[in-house]
Structures are given as C-alpha cells and as structure tokens.
C-alpha cells in the first residue's frame, strides 16, 4: 500500500500555495489569519493566491519594456471570480499518471511491461520554460516569450505547466500527469533545446528520483539560484525587504557537494500481488508516491551508503515481518566501534569543531571561514587555526543537521554576528551582551558551540529526549543550562524573580532555529516583548522565515529604514543587519538562511 500523503500544517492556519506537491509556501497578503471553516472559503482563498502567483510569474519573466507595452492589460483577463474558477478547474488536457509499480509492470512474465496499449497515455506537449521556481521546477507554457506577450495583449489566456529538471529558456517535451488549480504538473520526457548552463548529472537516478532537483547545473549556478530564491521569498513577503541597505549575501557553500548527508531514510511498500524479490527500497519517483529502487545515494556519505547496503540486505531477508512497508533509517556515527546505526533509538555521536576564541575583525573572520572550509573537506585541514571540538550525542531519530561538513562555518558565523551586534551596541552606549538564550535548542548545537562567548547560556526545547541529550552534551561546560518546555515560555524561564536566572534583555542574545514551518505569532510577540539585544533567526524554511520577519515589520518591531524611529516611544525596535544563506543541501532546492536582527534603541 502506498504511503498516505502528509498534509502540510501551517501554524498560522493558512494553506500552502498552488499545491503541497510542488512545495511553495507563499501566502495571500489579505487573508484572515484563522483556520478556514468551509470549502467555499478555501476556494475563495485559492483565487486570491492564484492572482498573486500570476502576477509574480509575469513580473519575473517579462522584461521592463515588455511590461511597459502591456499597459493596463490584466494578465489573464478574468471578468469575475466565477470566471476564474471555471478557467482554473478546466485544464486543456487530461492528466494521466500511469503507475510505474503495478500488477502489469511487475507480472512474472513481464509481457505487459512498457506496453503502451495497456493504459491510456498522457498528452505530450512541447513547452517553453520561462523560469525555475524556488522548488526547482521549471514554470512553462506552450507559448514562447514573444507569443506570450501577444497572447496576453490580445486578451487570451495562458495555462501554466510545471516541469521538473528543466532550466530557463529550454524547449522541452513533457507529459501531463496531474492537473491542479490553474496549472498542470508534467513529467519531463526530453530536452529539445538545452540551456547553455546545463551539464550532465553524475547520478544515474537523476531525472527519476525526487531527492535531488539541481544536479543538471554547476555548483556555482546552484549557489546563485539559492541566493535568488532567498531574495524572492523576502521580496514576495514585502517588496521593501531588499533595498540598498538590506541585501541577501552570496550563499556560503558546503565544503562537500556530494557525499555530505549523514542521514538517509529510504522506504518501501509491500503489495499482496507483488513478488517480494521485486519490492523496491529507495526514494519516491518524481511526481509519484511510488518507490524507485536505490542502491546508492551519491549525496550520502560513504558510511551512510555502507549502511544503505546493509539495511537493504537485512530488510529483503525479513520482508515477512512487515505488513505494509516501512521507512528505514541510516545515520552516520563517530562511535569507536561503528560508523553507522540503523535503529531509531541507537545513539549517534557527531563532532563539530569551531574557533576557540572569537575575533570580529573582518579580515580575520574571512580567513577563519576559509580555513573552516578545509576542516571537513576531502583534502583535510592543513591551516593554522586554534579550534575546539564538541561531541554531540543524540538518538538516531532525533533532529540534527544532516550536513556536518558546513556546521563549523554555520556556528562560527552565528557567533560572529552576535559579536558584531555587541560591538554596535557598545558603540551606541548600550551594555555588553553577556547572555545567550537558544530557543528550539535540540541537542544543543548553538548553545554549546557559542558558549565560550557568554557568561551564561540557557537552551530550551519541547522534546524531553533532546533536552536529556543536550544536558549530557554540555557536561563539563559550566555556563550552560537546558530546560524542557515550549519555546513560547522561555522568557519566563530567564526572568526568574528568585535570581537563579535573570537575564537582562539589554544584555541577552536570542537564537531561534524553528522547524521548517517557522514560528508562530504567540512566540514572536513574546520574543519582542522580552526585547533582547540581538535576535539570530536560523531557518531551513526560508518563506516561513520571511513571513515571520514580515510579521514583526507589520507590528512595528522591525524597521526597514532605521532612521525612521521617531514614533518608537518605549517600544523595542530592530533593524535587519544581515541576511546570510548557507547551503546545507547541495544538489537540492533547499537552503538554510540566517537573519540577524539588532535592537537599535
């Protein structure tokens, strides 16, 4: 039985845009921040959302001259919402998603394998790719750019297609496999006209496996794509985010572009009609909830791939112990007796090194970051650098970053940003930053990694298991304390009236590293009410991060022009001092991002 779809749950009660399958997390600007109570209301919000996506699309693919020639033309010329609904729910082609894993394709005599007569075939179209979206899918139409402008000026409408593994300006052949609200999802069949920057992907599964999206471009191009992706997320939330004062820095890359993942979670599905020897163990096909058999994952570390080989062998010999299928786990460990573990409750050890003593001189910082690049690279560390190593132990199923080659740079950057904030605050006659609060602390990566820069550090995490790990990981570090609890009540924890922990907000830095869905209004309100000297927001879900920071802009806590503070009264005000992406996930569309907010009053 195929695994059920996991529905995305947004803490703000909003639906993900277009469709969860293509992983866009943008929200309409004018919707009510409450859960939708009816299908009609959800449909109403879809029309608003679709309008925004249309405008974003055309504004991004048409050059300024073309936009000027458009005049007041409405992009799709809908007369009303009913007209739009009718259009968006009536795609021009029937979608056909043939199963790759079926009774026919796995029959013992294989007579029906690839026999096109056994099923209805999807429509094949020639498409022009106009841009690559943040999720790595190409956004395409049947019209080229010139035809697109003429079509719109004539008042005609355009249907959209999203196609994986494609690049801007390519002409491709694709098959429609799924229809959604105003667009169709396609399988890529062939590339008729290739983009100049297309390269051959090194993975034999690329183009079928849903795990990687960007192997067809160089790593340099991947970093540029991710920088633009972060810019787009912030500009979409607020067009004033990115200006002459606020820029998205170039992405800090991973020392390893392949062989970096320390964790893999392959899975399999069992069917009564399927011979066990033909059961696939691996990851989903692109655009399908079906498993592609994967023997090696080239973004996994050598040790993790050894574990993949081992767990495939063990699982195939024990299929009879499973009822429907399962998700497996392989995690690298630095334990003395083993290099990988396969059980969720097994303990994992990872070492993260960072600079012993922080120096905020820019030239020294840049040199240190370059040397840290070598720390986990293939050539090994050869530079003259005084480092300290921390061992982190946690259960294999617990959250911990899956690319440890870039963690030394990430931790050092966070320390550097707090150091710069402290310098700014001292220069503007504020007291020294002495304390650190690490919300969503997990196993203690930032709390422990930054501990040498503070008099006292407190970490909080909702998971009892993670707090236990963090406490064990901090043994011997006398200035670290960890508490279990929801991040929303942490500020009560650091304002104890008995004096046990009493962090003055003016002397406190706060690091938040929430899950991909981001934070929530309750926590953000308490955060600015506490009013720490600096906030460092680390995020793997950049659109949610941009949404959260824009929430702080709308409630007046973050100012995009720091000179405009005359109406501040006694309210704490912050400026965005840095937006810095990190590539923790090479070959994929995912990007980590760090935003630093410094209190300016």
What residues form the annotated binding site?
A: 401, 440, 461, 513
Q: Are 280 and 293 in contact (CB under 8 A)?
A: yes
Annotated binding site for S-adenosyl-L-methionine: 401, 440, 461, 513
Residue 169: burial class (beta carbons within 10 Å; 0-12, 13-18, 19+) = middle
Question: Rounded CA gap, 340 and 347, in Å?
Answer: 10
Q: Is 441 a catalytic residue?
A: no
Question: Rounded CA gap, 270 and 11, in Å?
Answer: 34
**How many CB atoms neighbour CB 453 within 10 A?**
19
Q: What would you report as the CA-atom Rg of the chain, rounded to the nearest whole angstrom? A: 26
Q: Closest Cα to residue 27, out of 41, 10, 43?
A: 10
Q: Are 419 and 452 in contact (CB under 8 A)?
A: no
Question: Rounded CA gap, 239 and 60, in Å?
Answer: 14
Question: Rounded CA gap, 129 and 183, in Å?
Answer: 14
Q: Which long-range contacts (CB under 8 A, 24 or more apart) does 71-78 make?
A: 73/152, 73/153, 73/155, 75/152, 76/152, 76/157, 76/158, 77/155, 77/156, 77/157
Listed in sequence order, the residues at least 6 apart from 374 whose beta carbon sits closer than 8 Å to its beta carbon are 255, 380, 381, 382, 383
| Residue that has been written with the tokens 């007291």 in this structure | 431
Helix (H) or strand (E) holding 124: strand 124-132
Question: Rounded CA gap, 530 and 439, in Å?
Answer: 13
Question: Rounded CA gap, 542 and 155, in Å?
Answer: 36
Q: Closest Cα to residue 424, out of 433, 414, 415?
A: 433
Q: Are 300 and 264 in contact (CB under 8 A)?
A: yes
Q: Closest Cα to residue 316, out of 279, 269, 265, 284?
A: 279
| Residue that has been written with the tokens 């007369």 in this structure | 79
Task: List the catalytic residue out of 186, 297, 450, 540.
Answer: 540
Q: If you write DSSP's letter for every residue of 290-307 in order, what string do you get?
A: -EEE-S--TTB-HHHHHH
Question: Rounded CA gap, 253 and 255, in Å?
Answer: 7
Residue 79: burial class (beta carbons within 10 Å; 0-12, 13-18, 19+) = exposed
Q: Show the beta-strand stretches assigned E in 418-530.
A: 435-439, 456-461, 480-484, 508-512
Token digits of residue 298: 């080239």
Q: Closest Cα to residue 525, out of 494, 496, 491?
A: 491
Q: Are 453 and 358 in contact (CB under 8 A)?
A: yes
Question: Catalytic residue numbers?
Answer: 540
């Amino acid at each position: 039985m195929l695994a059920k779809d996991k529905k995305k749950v947004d803490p703000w009660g909003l639906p993900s845009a277009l469709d969860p399958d293509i992983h866009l997390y943008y929200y309409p600007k004018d919707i009510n921040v409450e859960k939708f109570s009816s299908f009609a209301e959800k449909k109403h919000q879809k029309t608003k959302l679709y309008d925004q996506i249309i405008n974003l699309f055309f504004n991004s693919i048409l050059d300024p001259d073309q936009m000027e020639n458009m005049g007041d033309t409405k992009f799709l010329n809908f007369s009303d919402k009913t007209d739009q609904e009718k259009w968006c729910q009536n795609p021009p082609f029937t979608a056909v998603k043939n199963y790759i894993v079926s009774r026919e394709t796995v029959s013992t005599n294989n007579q029906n394998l690839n026999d096109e007569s056994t099923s209805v075939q999807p429509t094949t179209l020639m498409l022009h790719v106009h841009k690559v979206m943040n999720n790595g899918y190409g956004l395409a139409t049947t019209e080229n750019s010139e035809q697109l402008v003429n079509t719109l000026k004539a008042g005609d409408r355009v249907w959209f297609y999203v196609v994986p593994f494609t690049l801007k300006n390519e002409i491709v052949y694709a098959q429609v496999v799924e229809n959604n609200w105003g667009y169709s999802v396609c399988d890529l069949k062939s590339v008729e006209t290739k983009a100049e920057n297309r390269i051959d992907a090194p993975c034999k599964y690329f183009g079928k496996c849903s795990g990687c999206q960007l192997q067809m471009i160089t790593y340099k191009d991947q970093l540029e794509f991710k920088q633009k992706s972060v810019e787009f997320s912030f500009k979409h939330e607020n067009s004033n985010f990115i200006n002459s004062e606020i820029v998205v820095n170039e992405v800090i890359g991973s020392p390893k572009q392949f062989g970096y993942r320390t964790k893999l979670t392959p899975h399999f599905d069992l069917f009564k009609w399927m011979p066990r020897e033909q059961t696939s163990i691996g990851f989903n096909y692109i655009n399908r909830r079906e498993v592609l058999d994967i023997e090696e994952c080239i973004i996994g570390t050598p040790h993790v791939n050894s574990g993949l080989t081992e767990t495939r062998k063990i699982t195939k010999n024990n299929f009879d112990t499973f009822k429907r299928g399962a998700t497996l786990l392989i995690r690298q460990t630095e334990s003395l007796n083993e290099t990988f573990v396969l059980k969720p409750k097994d303990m994992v050890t990872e070492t993260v090194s960072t600079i012993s003593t922080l120096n905020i001189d820019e030239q020294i910082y840049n040199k240190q970051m370059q040397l840290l690049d070598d720390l986990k690279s293939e050539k090994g560390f050869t530079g003259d650098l005084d480092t300290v190593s921390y061992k982190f132990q946690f259960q294999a199923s617990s959250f911990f970053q899956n690319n440890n080659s870039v963690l030394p740079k990430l931790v050092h950057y966070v320390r550097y940003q707090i150091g710069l904030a402290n310098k700014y605050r001292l220069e503007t006659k504020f007291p020294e930053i002495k304390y650190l609060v690490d919300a969503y602390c997990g196993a203690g990566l930032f709390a422990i990694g930054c501990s040498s820069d503070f008099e006292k550090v407190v970490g909080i995490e909702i998971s009892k298991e993670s707090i236990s790990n963090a406490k064990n990981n901090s043994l011997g570090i006398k200035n670290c304390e960890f508490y279990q609890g929801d991040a929303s009540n942490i500020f009560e924890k650091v304002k104890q009236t008995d004096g046990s922990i009493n962090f003055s907000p003016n002397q406190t830095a706060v690091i938040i590293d929430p899950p991909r869905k981001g934070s929530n209004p309750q926590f953000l309100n308490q955060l600015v009410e506490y009013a720490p000297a600096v906030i460092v927001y680390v995020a793997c879900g950049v659109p949610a991060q941009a949404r959260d920071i824009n929430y702080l802009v709308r409630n007046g806590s973050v100012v995009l022009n720091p000179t405009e503070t005359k109406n501040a009264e006694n309210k704490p005000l912050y400026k965005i001092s840095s937006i810095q992406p990190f590539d923790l996930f090479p070959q994929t569309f995912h990007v980590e991002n760090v935003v630093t907010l410094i209190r300016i009053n």
